[in-house]
Amino acid sequence: MGDVTKLIARRLVYGALTLLVVSILIFFAVELLPGDIAQAVLGQGATKETVAALREQMGLDQPAPVRYLHWLAGAVHGDFGVSLISGDRVSAVIGPRFLNTLFLASYAAVIAVPFAITLGILVALLRNSIFDRVANVVTLTAISSPEFFLGYILILFFAVKTSAFPAIASIGSHMSFGDLLYRSFLPALTLVLVVTAHMMRMTRAAIISLLASPYIEMARLKGVSPWRVIVRHALPNAWAPIINVVALNLAYLITGVVLVEVVFVYPGIGQLLVDAVSKRDFPIVQACCLIFAATFILLNLAADVGAILTNPRLRHPK
């Protein structure tokens, strides 16, 4: 148990260092953008005195490293500053949007994860059959298609031609849970189509690679049914790579929803990021990027921990 604790602690330290480096890149990438932020906010008609006063109010008269340390200290406490456009606290603006994104990602994950693992087991069991070939063609098509293309295809068939679901996923806190599921079905389905393909193919590959193992051959010689061989013998040893790919796809569901939210005008953090970029609202841009990075790193850490806990060779390294 001590080895596991040390491995997890080491992963946490690496994750914290990675997030620190990413925060530096995010902050100074905005600093390198051309133009004056204060001038962009006030417009070309602003006087020099007004621009200077705004620069002082925003702290732009201080050196960049000092401003980074102030920004990082505030971010650690959940304070990302003030929006340049609305004047509201960035945390207050992002909070509801991030909850909407989490809802959409959870909606897609609840459908995609069990469906993908079950489908991967089936195609491994029916390897080289017509069902296996069709599933591989469909999943490769889904992987190769951009998210916005799949979104527009779903809008064409389910919103324009059949009117089964709304093309614009406008949701609000006043809606019932059923209305939320109904209005956000198309963006969730778009995400399901993308991540299911990756998880299904990884599950299939992990199980097939184990089917040639000696203990699997012994189970077959004893007359164990093919389904029982996969579920009771192959699947438990295939959990490590499956957990990794599931965690990575869950990270994608949160960090890769920008295009999907834009296509369906979904009020999530991805749509907020695009709006903030177009309006040059840099505090919101920095906060959104840092939240995306932290979420991705956290889920990668969860994948590493899951792989350690499910793989004895990682729990007891030599």
Of the pLDDT bands very low, low, confident and very high (cuts 50, 70, 90), residue 314 is low
Range with top average pLDDT, 100-109, 121-130, 161-170, 275-284: 100-109
86 or 149, higher pLDDT:
149
E strand or H helix that includes residue 233:
none
CATH class, range 99-303: mainly alpha
As a whole number of angstroms, the distance between CA 73 and CA 68 comes to 8
Whether residue 308 has pLDDT greater than 80: no
As a whole number of angstroms, the distance between CA 200 and CA 137 comes to 12
Contacts 24+ apart (CB under 8 A), 273-281: 279/84, 279/85, 280/37, 280/40, 280/41, 280/84, 281/83, 281/84, 281/85
E strand or H helix that includes residue 89:
none
Q: For residue 44, what pLDDT is reported? A: 67
Q: What percent of the chain has pLDDT over 90?
A: 2
Q: Is pTM beyond 0.85 here?
A: no
Q: For residue 127, what pLDDT is reported? A: 80
Whether residue 317 has pLDDT greater than 60: no
3-class SS of residue 63:
coil
Domains in the chain: boundaries: 99-303
Whether residue 227 has pLDDT greater than 80: no
Q: For residue 39, what pLDDT is reported? A: 65
DSSP 125-169: HTTTSHHHHHHHHHHHHHHHS-HHHHHHHHIIIIIIIS-SS-SS-
Contacts of 49 (CB under 8 A, 6+ apart): none
pLDDT digits (tens, 9 = 90+) for 200-220: 888 888 777 777 777 777 777
Mean of the per-residue pLDDT values for the chain?
81
Rounded average pLDDT over 268-276: 87
| Distances, alpha carbon 220 to alpha carbons 118, 212, 226, 227, 231, in Å | 21, 11, 8, 11, 13
pLDDT digits (tens, 9 = 90+) for 77-104: 888 888 877 778 888 888 888 888 889 9
